[in-house]
Amino acid sequence: MTKGRIIGNNRPTKDFAVAEDESEKPHLLYYQMAGKKRRAHGSWYRGATTNYHPMRESLDEPGAVEKYVGHGWFPEKPFITRDHYITAFGSCFAAEVTKFLLRKGYNVFGDDIGLNAHIIRSGEGIVNSAALRQQFDWAIGGHSPEESVWQNPDGTDAEMSPDIRETTRDIFRKTEVFIFTLGLSEVWYDKITGDVFWRAIPNQRFDPERHGFRVMGVEENRRNLTNVYRTIREFRPDAEIIFTLSPVPLAATFRPVSCITANSVSKASLRMAIDEVMREFGEDPHLHYFPSYEIITAFLPDAMGVDLRHPRPEAVNFVMRTFKRNFLCG
């Protein structure tokens, strides 16, 4: 095998295509994909709804991303206008969303990204569901971590002043569209208080007796996201809430397994938690999921850059254009 490439005999994979005029057999199911009539085994009940996985040639169809990724998730029509007050934060991919919205003239943080709030200054560090919940518990509920678990990028403690809390509360109460981009499930935490750190623990502060590492499971992530959802609904019943999952994988894992496999677990836990929230509150017309993760990792071929972590600019642009088509007015 040549490094970085799989060598095969170029035999075509089975695509189940049949001639349009082929007589249909009663024990088979027939469907259309990529302009061809195809068949599937009909012995098994397929349910009231059946959506088939696309083939490579399907990806070139007009509207393919809406059909094969966005189906069941995208709203019937775009609803975000330039007058809406938008709050967007989370993983580093959230910064791409914010930059795109600002370039297009949308009202992110009231057009004032200089506000003194952690969700603006350190928004890219709020990458796990516990950190997201902490911001709402602190700003809206008035609950502060017992010990400092919020750090700036340089490792210093983030300020938790009444002024910053009030600014954050004011942002949340004004927000008409929340966009949350979750990133990972691997966290460091305080063994005494149970509080989760935004990031890792500053080197000079690490105490093996007090600090621990763990992977947040589906149920813990679900509880955190449900708490955020319910909190928002208490003060903004009609606010639009959009959950996304960052396609950017872990840079490193602190588990004794490969980073690639650890990342699969980290993302799967979050994706499942989001899905459970979406199903639990599925009747809420103002709750949405935007599948940026699936577009990058499953729909676009060769979407990652040379570091195999950050999407290529053209892939990011594709995701943002898809978001614009389906969520943004104008």
The tens digit of pLDDT for each residue in 247-277 reads 999 999 999 999 999 999 999 999 999 999 9
37's enclosing H/E stretch is strand 36-41
Residue range 86-327 in CATH 2.60.120:
no
CB 56 within 8 A of CB 44: no
Confidence at residue 6, expressed as pLDDT on a 0 to 100 scale: 44
CB atoms within 10 A of CB 328: 18
Confidence at residue 3, expressed as pLDDT on a 0 to 100 scale: 44
The tens digit of pLDDT for each residue in 156-181 reads 888 888 898 999 999 999 999 999 99
Residue 111 binned pLDDT confidence (cut-offs 50, 70, 90): low
CB 127 within 8 A of CB 184: yes
Q: Which distant-in-sequence residues (6+ apart) come within 8 Å of 29 by Cβ?
A: 39, 40, 41, 42, 46
**pLDDT exceeding 90 applies to what percent of the chain?**
63
Q: What is the rounded distance in angstroms from the CA atom of residue 254 to the CA atom of residue 299?
A: 29
Confidence at residue 123, expressed as pLDDT on a 0 to 100 scale: 61
Of the candidates 244, 248, 245, 246, the residue with the CA atom closest to the CA atom of residue 307 = 248
Q: Which distant-in-sequence residues (6+ apart) come within 8 Å of 3 by Cβ?
A: none
Domain boundaries, the chain: 17-61, 86-327
Residue indicated by tokens 């700036």: 152
Q: Is the dihedral of CA 74, 311, 91, 317 positive or negative?
A: negative
Confidence at residue 302, expressed as pLDDT on a 0 to 100 scale: 92
Q: Which of 67-76, 145-154, 320-329 has the lowest mean pLDDT?
A: 145-154
Residue 162 tokens read as: 């009444």
3-state helix vs strand vs coil in the chain, percent to 5: 40, 15, 45
Q: What is the rounded distance in angstroms from the CA atom of residue 303 to the CA atom of residue 296?
A: 6
193 phi, psi to nearest 5 deg: -90, -25
Confidence at residue 110, expressed as pLDDT on a 0 to 100 scale: 64
Residue indicated by tokens 């927000």: 175
CB atoms within 10 A of CB 15: 14
For 111, how many CA atoms within 13 A lie in the half-sphere containing its CB?
A: 8
Q: What is the rounded distance in angstroms from the CA atom of residue 133 to the CA atom of residue 222?
A: 11
Of the candidates 209, 208, 225, the residue with the CA atom closest to the CA atom of residue 217 = 225
The tens digit of pLDDT for each residue in 97-109 reads 888 999 999 999 8
Confidence at residue 4, expressed as pLDDT on a 0 to 100 scale: 45
The pLDDT of residue 116 is above 90? no
Q: What is the rounded distance in angstroms from the CA atom of residue 92 to the CA atom of residue 164?
A: 22
Give how far the C-alpha of residue 326 lies from the chain's centroid of Cα atoms, to the nearest Å.
16
* Mean predicted lDDT score pLDDT of the chain: 89
Q: Which distant-in-sequence residues (6+ apart) come within 8 Å of 298 by Cβ?
A: 69
Confidence at residue 55, expressed as pLDDT on a 0 to 100 scale: 87
